[in-house]
Structure 1
């Protein structure tokens, strides 16, 4: 079964939405790079950067910016990632406006309108979280929510892409009950992946990535000293600058260790889900199971490589992007399972 439908069978706006989905992936990748390069506060104001549409470059502009923000002088290796990320995010907003306008103008039956409208509203909210990330000085709760918002944006755009693609599984009536039995398993799989992404976001927003610099042990121990109460304290006060983190080592180890445990649970469950898909004996379900397992294997390898190679930015960015791809496999699984049509002819596809 091909991933995309033939052009004549797609709904209006498919290519535009697919392009927006790709742009969202780039925005997520640039946002992760900005965070890992410690450039989250590369521009202390919002939406400008030291009062500039781009960033201060001339000597007199830098001097004036440093006078205005003496506690946060201009660092060019941090200003450009932050502003490029902001402009890419703004372009994504324009894409979603165009998608909604396209949907409203289309007179095709079954053309989605509510979902594009919701995506636009969500993009606006995501922009607010981007602002709060700066104005609240990388408050971990906001940084984590902003990262989750990025993953959610990609998922919503991909869901809209699938709907506009207008392709559904055709299953024989004899397999309908089996497919329905997979539905709750698929929903649980999505929730588990989302929880693992949230753990990853909490890990990076509290600078706990390097808390366990060895693998498979953590700081040379299987159970190192950990402080879960502080590590998962979500009542941290707004006010201090959270650049670099404020937690002690035991709290960060607790966060990192939890993320590793979450990875084990996620991998085990997705393998179980893939086995369940394979047992359906539907060719398309088998293909989907193979895709999930492949993406999962790459993601686990990247997670281990992060530790082994001491957290290079390129590997860390790839780990986040493949995490997004893993999330999209779960969105795809749920969409295909819940929209499958019964083929009375008994043909499996």
Structure 2
């Protein structure tokens, strides 16, 4: 068009990165607000704990926070609009790869979560609960991936994590999934002690059926319930194994400053998550600590994305 001037590549990438960081921040707010609504609605840390936990499964949830519900809807709408604009900016006038690919995945995930929201009213569907939980974390991870891939010059790829790093990232994924299943199956009350869980140190075999999310819940997992105990112990053991593996990765990457900083960020968030998890249990599952634990998981996955970028060849 006459009178229009092409945007310099550096200006375009800076704008995309700024928009990705805005989307990242909005996604974090979505995770925090949705966690607060879900956990408060479930009665987490309620006065008559744990008897009052999971009342939402019986159609009698506590009155939700009107402000939190409004905040969630507004922020989710803003995040969707930002995601649409981000995808457009990444693809036009020419694709900016790999940022465009991650922006497309981000937008697809946003649309999927909007669709899943149709079934979210029934909190008894564990699979839908899990998709909502993991989807929120995915929004944060994908928006961060767009940000770090928008300006490749800001991130120097160096160092090889090797198979240990890939195993560590896999175990970290399992850690987050186990934590998501605890929330999706309303199993927080199953374990109220540290470090053992209901006297168990290893996941009871009869509780491993709780790994199946395709169930309709009849009620929350009570104290000592085998499925909930198994999920808690799997979550804790996987987190501990992740910590050990990432320590090995940090030692292997000691001569690659950028990659080493990335793995140290992962270790920092892992330690923070462990502390928040322990405090949540010790406090009788205080709501604000549980919400912080959810937000910390999102930041942990973002740090893992940075590590994956830093060791990529």
In 1: Cα distance, 2:301 partner to 2:288 partner:
20
In 2: Cα distance, 1:221 partner to 1:183 partner:
34
Residues 1:108 and 1:36: Cα distance change in structure 2 (over 3 Å): closer
Task: Summarize the alignment of residues 262-341 of structure 1 with structure 2, pairs less than 5 Å apart.
Answer: 262-278=238-254, 281-338=255-312
Residues 1:111 and 1:287: Cα distance change in structure 2 (over 3 Å): closer
What residue number does 1:99 align with? 86
What residue number does 1:187 align with? 166
Structure 1 counterpart of 2:194, from 201, 215, 228: 215
In 2: Cα distance, 1:109 partner to 1:251 partner:
46
In 1: Cα distance, 2:96 partner to 2:182 partner:
45
Gaps of 5+ in 2: 1-9, 44-57
Q: Give the Å deviation of 1:248.
A: 7.9
Q: Deviations over 1:185-219 (max 9, x none)?
A: 33333322221111001011222212121111223
Secondary structure (helix, strand or coil) at the match of 2:107 reads: helix
Q: Give the Å deviation of 1:140.
A: 0.9
Task: Summarize the alignment of residues 126-145 of structure 1 with structure 2, pairs less than 5 Å apart.
Answer: 126-134=113-121, 136-145=122-131
Gaps of 5+ in 1: 1-6, 41-70, 172-178, 340-349
Secondary structure (helix, strand or coil) at the match of 1:38 reads: helix
What residue number does 2:150 align with? 164
Q: Give the Å deviation of 1:11.
A: 4.1
Task: Summarize the alignment of residues 244-259 of structure 1 with structure 2, pairs less than 5 Å apart.
Answer: 244=220, 249-259=225-235
8 Å Cα contact 1:295/1:325 also seen in 2 = yes
CA RMSD in angstroms, aligned pairs only: 3.0
Residues 1:164 and 1:264: Cα distance change in structure 2 (over 3 Å): same
In 1: Cα distance, 2:104 partner to 2:261 partner:
32
Aligned: 1:116 with 2:103: yes
Q: Give the Å deviation of 1:74.
A: 9.0
What residue number does 1:201 align with? 180
In 2: Cα distance, 1:205 partner to 1:27 partner:
17
Secondary structure (helix, strand or coil) at the match of 1:218 reads: coil
8 Å Cα contact 1:11/1:111 also seen in 2 = no
Residues 1:192 and 1:201: Cα distance change in structure 2 (over 3 Å): same
In our comparison, the structure showing a higher alpha carbon Rg is 1
Residues 1:148 and 1:111: Cα distance change in structure 2 (over 3 Å): closer
Q: Give the Å deviation of 1:322.
A: 1.5
TM norm structure 1: 0.72
Structure 1 counterpart of 2:21, from 18, 23, 34: 18
Paired residues in the alignment total: 289
